[in-house]
């Protein structure tokens, strides 16, 4: 029997979702910051809603998402464990679905590599070896631990997951410049005012929609 894309996606989602989800921050964040363990499925915005509908009902996108999640099924349990152990939302393990389609040797036009599409300078900053003989960005466990450290640093800096995700996507410098005139502006304000590119808005919204679809938002 041949499954339709939507049915295949639902089957894969049930396989990818964790049996138990434990998000316990290692240390309490400052009061003005959102807790690092916050459920990413709980973020609400119309653009996230739009992407969630697309992921669920648009056949080409639904089928492609199902294929990507099938490719990532072997990695997800361990990736979730790494983030949970670091006091971060386990749903961040889904980010390679957007970054690399769960391709461990993926290479971008700008030289970013691996599941997490880390640039060489960023990889070295977080302890990975990147040289002519060895590139630890291509080792899923090591690259995941480096990405987790990077995301933790970004969240500590911005106190907000959408901004941290945007910085992972376009770089801290780009986000900091966008906030220079209004440090209290939210990610969505920056995107709506076009101080951040539309591609960044869609990157963040698509990822948070994917978290809703895969992990659900029952606890929100």
Question: Using an 8 Å Cβ cutoff, are 73 and 15 in contact?
Answer: yes
Residue 97's domain comprises 37-214
**Domain annotation covers residue 25:** no
Give a three-class secondary structure readout of 150-179. Answer: HHHHHHHHHCCHHHHHHHHHHCHHHHHHHH
**Domain annotation covers residue 188:** yes
- Which are the catalytic amino acids? 99
Q: The domain spanning residue 196 has which CATH number?
A: 1.10.530.10
Exposed, middle or buried, 149 (CB in 10 Å: 0-12/13-18/19+)?
middle
Instruction: With 0.85 as the threshold, say if the pTM is over it.
Output: no
**Domain annotation covers residue 74:** yes
CA–CA distance, 130 with 120 (Å, rounded to integer): 6
pLDDT by residue for the chain (220 residues), tens only, comes to: 444 444 444 444 444 444 323 232 333 333 334 456 579 999 999 999 999 999 999 999 999 999 999 999 999 999 999 999 999 999 999 999 999 999 999 999 999 999 999 999 999 999 999 999 999 999 999 999 999 999 999 999 999 999 999 999 999 999 999 999 899 999 999 999 999 999 999 999 999 999 999 998 767 7
Domain count, the chain: 1
CA triple 110-114-118, angle to 5 deg: 55
**Domain annotation covers residue 7:** no
Exposed, middle or buried, 187 (CB in 10 Å: 0-12/13-18/19+)?
buried
**Domain annotation covers residue 100:** yes
The tokens describing 30, both together, are: 């400052």
- Across the strands, what pairs with 107? 113
Burial call 26-49: b when 16+ CB within 10 Å, e when fewer: eeebeeeebbbbbbbbebebebbe
CA–CA distance, 60 with 74 (Å, rounded to integer): 23
**Domain annotation covers residue 2:** no
């Amino acid at each position: 029997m041949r499954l339709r894309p939507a049915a295949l996606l639902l089957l894969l989602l049930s396989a990818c979702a964790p049996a138990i989800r434990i998000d316990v921050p290692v240390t309490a964040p400052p009061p003005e910051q959102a807790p690092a363990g916050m459920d990413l499925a709980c973020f609400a915005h119309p653009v996230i809603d739009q992407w969630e509908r697309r992921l669920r009902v648009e056949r080409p996108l639904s089928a492609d998402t199902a294929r990507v999640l099938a490719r990532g099924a072997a990695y997800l349990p361990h990736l979730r464990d790494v983030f949970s152990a670091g006091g971060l939302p386990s749903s961040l393990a889904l980010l390679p679905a957007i970054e690399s389609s769960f391709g461990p040797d993926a290479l971008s036009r700008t030289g970013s590599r691996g599941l997490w599409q880390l640039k060489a300078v960023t990889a070295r900053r977080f302890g990975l070896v990147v040289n002519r003989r060895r590139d630890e960005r291509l080792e899923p466990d090591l690259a995941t631990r480096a990405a987790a450290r990077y995301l933790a640093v970004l969240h500590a800096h911005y106190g907000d997951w959408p901004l941290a995700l945007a910085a992972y996507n376009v770089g801290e410098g780009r986000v900091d410049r966008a906030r220079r005139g209004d440090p209290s502006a939210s990610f969505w304000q920056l995107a709506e005012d076009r101080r951040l590119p539309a591609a960044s808005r869609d990157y963040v919204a698509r990822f948070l929609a994917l978290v809703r679809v895969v992990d659900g938002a029952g606890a929100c």
